[in-house]
Amino acid sequence: MELSNAEEQLMQILWKKEKAFMKDLVEAYPDPKPALTTVATLLKRMQAKNFVGYIQIGRSREYFPKVSKKNYFSKQMNGMIKSFFNNSASQFASFFAEESNLSEKELVELRKLIDEKIKNK
C-alpha cells in the first residue's frame, strides 16, 4: 500500500522524530503549517494503512511509525524499477548513472559498492 504525497510528507516528519504528539508533528511542518484537523485526518488514514501506530498517554496520543523508512523506500524503488524499467535493476542503474550527472568520486563510490556486492555473492 502506498502513501499519498501529503501522507508521505507527514511520514517523513514522523520517521525523523521517531515518536511525537500531534502538536509536535504540526510544529515540524514548514510554513504555512496545516490545520490540526488535517494532520488528524492524515494520521487516521495512515493508521488504517498500518503505517502509523500510537500509544494513549492520558488524553493525548503519541504517534510512531510502524514501517521503517528503509523498508518503505525499498518497496517504492522496487515498484518503480518494475513499472519503468521492465523489472531490470541494470536498466535502472544505467539510466541513473547517465541521467543524474554523478561526479567521478560518486561513480567510484558506486563501483566500490557494486564490487563489494559481487565479492559477497
N-to-C CA span, the chain: 31
Residues in contact with 53: Cβ distance below 8 Å, sequence separation at least 6, in sequence order: 47, 63, 64, 65, 66
Are residues 22 and 55 both part of a single domain? yes
Quick check: helix, strand or coil at residue 86?
coil
Claim to verify: residue 57 and residue 90 sit in the same structural domain = no
Same domain, 61 and 93: no
User: What's the CATH code of the domain at 20?
Assistant: 1.10.10.10
Tell me, yes or no, whether 58 and 96 share the same domain.
Answer: no
Residues 55, 101, single domain; the answer is: no
Strands 52-57 and 20-21: unpaired
Residue ranges making up the domain that contains 32: 5-65
DSSP H or E stretch at residue 20: strand 20-21
Quote the number of domains for the chain: 2
Q: Residue-wise pLDDT tens for the chain (121 aa)?
A: 789 999 999 999 999 999 999 999 999 999 999 999 999 999 999 999 999 999 999 999 999 999 999 999 998 888 889 998 998 888 888 888 888 888 889 888 988 988 898 988 8
